[in-house]
Structure 1
């Protein structure tokens, strides 16, 4: 049977774009891609990239304070949100054009509209056109989850945070994950009075307990009011804002309510289940280790599979798919020991097992250093950095590395190389420290603080 395309990709995010480009440029495939919104997906348009730029913007008040302590005569003016938004949009436009240019340069045909799956080898566009493809790749990512709460229409999600007309004076962030915690820090840094509600016992569930406790303490010291064990009962519009009634019996008024209570895979209405593609409880596409669904011609990568929802993972999955199916180089995406960073203030970088997970697996030794960093110590700030290694007692391998402090994301990337290679505690110890740095603490911790 002759097909219109060798590959049709649905979704123009990081995973789908990488798969399409590699299949076309290196695999010689005839490829098409459909994207209903903007090229670049969640990460580039409404996620990692604009969020990190907001993180940078929110850090300047602290830097200006430090500069004065170091002898600089500087004064902070009011933050101009309108100016920042114009600059932000220009950067996103540049990145979107780069993504689009990479695809067209590889020979990929782009359809700027929604696409669904009509049968195992047919894609239907929103305008009614149908195309056949030998292989179909689902790379539609995820979307913010909004619970069914009275007054939910008054709230916004992370999607809208980058396009606010103005900054609020009072904001409530609902949720305790990394997105919620990052935005709480961003808004706080930009001068917003921030409150964070989380129904659990401590924010950043799933991360190392000691590390997330360190982050929460620092956030509260910086001015974020965190209420754990608290959720929203209802929201009501008032003349002066949004009244929020909480489960702890309080009623507070805010100008903005941001819901960051998780994300769901974008599979609704794609037509997958009638074809035999299995979806999980969260709506995720079920795939095997080759990213293949139960329908042999249909594959899926990225957040829509709900495996590890990180941009670099989606890129690796998309590349592995293209190499396997079109490049004659069968390989699986490696999901072991994937490092990640949470861009709260302070940052949290992590790779491997938390202390709690490691203890469930085997006896461990735990090494921890907590100290005030030189830069802000001189400036009189009370910031504290934490470095933590979780080590197997039997093999001596470093099972987990957790860093809380400025530049944690940068440091954990390099530490991840060592952990991925199977470095032992003695390998760390043999490495000569770079002084004076924060990271030198990773190779100078000699005595465990806990065993068991």
Structure 2
């Protein structure tokens, strides 16, 4: 049978862009449909604009720290409108850049919503087109719990378009999105209250990362209300009133309320049922939280329909931009490049751009002990004041940690909290991925004076 396209991609985010360009490079006729700006969550309302906000949030501390080195810095003031406009301008520049990359690759961009009609047919831009293979790469979206007054809350999507800088922002959610925005807004001069349902933030991360970030956030003036849930939200003359229950039930009043309680795969409206694409349910715990569905895939990102594939957050495997890119390229290599391969989801490094920053790769201490037993794990840990702050007087601490197999000496995990964690762990991740041992780390000469050298001098 003859098809209009060899590959039709739904969603021009990180995974879809990577897959479409790679497939086109092998000579495939490719089209990609996107109803929003090209670039996906990462470029438009995620990694890039968030990191720009992180950079901005660090300047006040740098101005303050400069005094310890003899610099006299005058009064500083943030022009919020200029700041937000500049970020939006950069986002749109990057989006147009990705469009140019598609053009150079020979990929046809269709600016429209796409819906599956059957296993080989897609309805897009008011017409029906056919494809030999279809790739779904529509990502995820923020979700709010079903609680009274949630309509007054904003999500991470709207954080980049606030007309004014909040005086007081309340954040619910203990994940990396809520934690990062709590730190960003505090750095930009807002009063910040973060409400979490458990004792610690960042469930799933190593315990030392969780405790050290939370301690640092508290030291920076963020009020973290633990073991507490939001029951309802209402408008009052002073702003938004959050009624709470749990260990700390005193209401919180803020002028902006950020709901950062999770993201779900963006499966609605795709017509998956028309093509026989199966979903896998995954429960989100807690009152007011619903059940989410992700597209079920095998190790080759193939769905229950053999010619339809899915990559990225819509599959809810590891929801990171580089992972979506890696999955997309592995799919294209396998299906169009005569190089059948599986993308590895093991030892994927990641970072939390909080203040203090953190990064991690490999197993947490708890995961390693569960796998090998307490006697099978050796932990090396260091906690110190960075040299930079020896003159600033700031009570900042860096934590570095290696989790090692006691029997083989293999480094199973590396974790860090402190300035430049992401940059440092990126290099360490290569060693962990290659199976380096603690002796290999010990044999490596450190660069002095740096924080990174602690990873090769820990005893």
- Tell me whether the two structures share a fold, i.e. TM-score over 0.5: yes
Work out the CA distance in 1 between the residues paired with 2:18 and 2:371: 36
In the alignment, which of 139, 142, 145 is matched to residue 144 of structure 1? 142
Work out the CA distance in 1 between the residues paired with 2:75 and 2:104: 45
User: 1:157-306 alignment to 2 at 5 Å?
Assistant: 157-248=155-246, 249-281=249-281, 282-306=292-316
**Which secondary structure does the structure 2 equivalent of 1:284 belong to?**
strand
Q: Say whether residues 1:308 and 2:318 are aligned partners.
A: yes
Q: Which residue of 2 aligns with 1:450?
A: none
- Shift of residue 76, structure 1, vs aligned partner: 3.8
The runs of 5 or more residues in structure 1 that have no matched partner are 447-452
Please give the per-residue CA displacement for 1:281-323, whole angstroms capped at 9, x wherever unaligned: 1311110111000101100000001010000000001011111
Q: Is the 8 A contact 2:116 2:274 kept in 1?
A: no
- Shift of residue 273, structure 1, vs aligned partner: 2.8
Q: Which residue of 2 aligns with 1:388?
A: 401
Work out the CA distance in 2 between the residues paired with 1:160 and 1:352: 33
Q: Say whether residues 1:63 and 2:62 are aligned partners.
A: yes
User: 1:53-132 alignment to 2 at 5 Å?
Assistant: 53-125=52-124, 127-132=125-130
Work out the CA distance in 2 between the residues paired with 1:251 and 1:360: 40
**Which secondary structure does the structure 2 equivalent of 1:194 belong to?**
strand
Q: Which residue of 2 aligns with 1:449?
A: none
Q: Which residue of 1 aligns with 2:339?
A: 329
- Shift of residue 260, structure 1, vs aligned partner: 0.6
Work out the CA distance in 2 between the residues paired with 1:99 and 1:46: 15
- Shift of residue 405, structure 1, vs aligned partner: 0.3
- Shift of residue 239, structure 1, vs aligned partner: 2.1
Please give the per-residue CA displacement for 1:211-252, whole angstroms capped at 9, x wherever unaligned: 110100000000111111111100001122101101132112
- Shift of residue 331, structure 1, vs aligned partner: 1.2
- Shift of residue 275, structure 1, vs aligned partner: 2.6
Work out the CA distance in 1 between the residues paired with 2:244 and 2:26: 55
- Shift of residue 201, structure 1, vs aligned partner: 2.0
Work out the CA distance in 1 between the residues paired with 2:383 and 2:445: 20
**Which secondary structure does the structure 1 equivalent of 2:279 belong to?**
coil
Q: Which residue of 1 aligns with 2:410?
A: 397
Work out the CA distance in 2 between the residues paired with 1:356 and 1:199: 21
Q: Is the 8 A contact 2:119 2:274 kept in 1?
A: no
Q: Is the 8 A contact 1:21 1:108 kept in 2?
A: yes
Distance 1:428 1:86, change over 3 A: same
- Shift of residue 419, structure 1, vs aligned partner: 0.5
Please give the per-residue CA displacement for 1:409-431, whole angstroms capped at 9, x wherever unaligned: 00000000000110111111111
- Shift of residue 29, structure 1, vs aligned partner: 0.8
Work out the CA distance in 1 between the residues paired with 2:181 and 2:26: 40
Please give the per-residue CA displacement for 1:141-170, whole angstroms capped at 9, x wherever unaligned: 000011101001000000000011111101
In the alignment, which of 413, 430, 439 is matched to residue 452 of structure 2? 439
- Shift of residue 2, structure 1, vs aligned partner: 0.9
Matched length: 444
Work out the CA distance in 1 between the residues paired with 2:204 and 2:143: 19
Q: Which residue of 2 aligns with 1:22?
A: 22
**Which secondary structure does the structure 2 equivalent of 1:280 belong to?**
strand
In the alignment, which of 356, 361, 367 is matched to residue 346 of structure 1? 356
Q: Which residue of 1 aligns with 2:424?
A: 411
**Which secondary structure does the structure 1 equivalent of 2:60 belong to?**
helix
Return structure 1 stretches of 4+ with deviation > 6 angstroms. none
In the alignment, which of 350, 354, 370 is matched to residue 383 of structure 2? 370
Q: Which residue of 2 aligns with 1:34?
A: 33
Work out the CA distance in 2 between the residues paired with 1:359 and 1:201: 22
Q: Is the 8 A contact 1:273 1:279 kept in 2?
A: no
Work out the CA distance in 2 between the residues paired with 1:101 and 1:226: 44
Please give the per-residue CA displacement for 1:362-399, whole angstroms capped at 9, x wherever unaligned: 11011100000010121111100001001111010011
Q: Is the 8 A contact 1:64 1:76 kept in 2?
A: no
Work out the CA distance in 2 between the residues paired with 1:192 and 1:365: 41
The runs of 5 or more residues in structure 2 that have no matched partner are 282-291
**Which secondary structure does the structure 1 equivalent of 2:228 belong to?**
coil
Q: Is the 8 A contact 2:117 2:274 kept in 1?
A: no
